[in-house]
Homo-oligomer: A and B are copies of this chain.
Amino acid sequence: MRIIESVSEMQQQADMWRGEGKRIALVPTMGYLHAGHLTLMQKARTHADIVVMSVFVNPTQFGPGEDFERYPRDFENDIRLATEVGVDAAFSPEAAEMYPEGYQTYVDVTRVTLPLCGKSRPGHFRGVTTVVNKLFNIVKPHVAMFGEKDFQQLVTIRRMVKDLNMDVEVLGHPIVRESDGLALSSRNVYLTSEQRQEALRLSQSLREAQTLIQSGERRSDIILKRVREILKAGKDMRIDYAELRHPETLEEVSRIDGPTLLALAVFLGTTRLIDNCVLNIPQ
């Protein structure tokens, strides 16, 4: 496993691989890897000759008062885990390498970033699109892999790539869950054991919504009412949002007549968790 910290070294290495006709896959991460990340890396391997992961806790996607400082980090373990799944290189720059003095350029995707996490976390997606744009220019991947847990992030990055004509194939991968349904997240480490139990309400409510669809319900307000009831029954849980939206435009959906995103965000104490699924009407 090659560890690269410098932008210019990473670009030179990418040029070398490309010159040899090799296909490059990038898995962008903020480190503290879990099985969800590792699945992305294994999947990346099936699409490319070279798999690069980036490990960078990007300051510009955290708002004031968010968990940038305490975001969990364990670089040595990340390298060990990524090596086991055959990752070829880790790009892990310092913040000053990515945002040197005088830095002043940002990429904005203006509409799909407005609702959901964009509403709760102003500036978050501007930070995400900017750093992903940079990472694509630095690692020069043919294909990049993102988990569907951050569904709005995936939609936003697809939109950026399409709009700016970036020649990168963006692939999403289904959420990886614990056996009891909890979506894997580096932030799960913040949870007390009681909170972890409460957090199961997220996946429970997603399953309940799918059951309602199966039984013929199509009205968004009815489905969301039931989802909110399940979430609200959690004693330490506060709902940030629970919404039904079009899976590409992220526009609100009042009646389910095709694949529809059910997106959830809650606070458990000070920890913010998200989860989602795309509801499908039975054939």
Contacts and interface: CB of A to CB of B under 8 A. Distances in A.
Interface of A: 7, 11, 15, 102-112, 129-130, 133-134, 137-138, 140, 159-160, 163-167, 249
B163 A105 contact: yes
Contacts of A129: 105
Contacts of A137: 164-167
A165 B103 CA distance: 11
Contacts of A165: 7, 11, 134, 137-138
A108 B104 CA distance: 8
Contacts of A11: 165, 167
Nearest to A249: B102
Q: Which of A15, A108, A130, A249 has the most CB of B within 10 A?
A: A108
A238 B163 CA distance: 39
Given A134-B164, A167-B137, A105 B108 contact: yes
A36 B264 CA distance: 56
A159 B105 contact: yes
Contact of A104 (B15, B106, B109, B167): B109
B133 A164 contact: yes
A105 B107 contact: yes
Nearest to A18: B18
A111 B104 contact: yes
A283 to B, nearest CB: 28
Contacts of A107: 105-108, 164
A281 to B, nearest CB: 24
A164 B266 CA distance: 33
A168 to B, nearest CB: 9
B134 A104 contact: no
Contacts of A103: 163
24 contacts: A11-B165, A11-B167, A102-B159, A102-B249, A103-B163, A104-B109, A104-B163, A105-B107, A105-B108, A105-B160, A105-B163, A106-B107, A106-B108, A107-B164, A108-B108, A130-B164, A134-B164, A134-B165, A137-B164, A137-B165, A137-B166, A137-B167, A138-B165, A140-B167
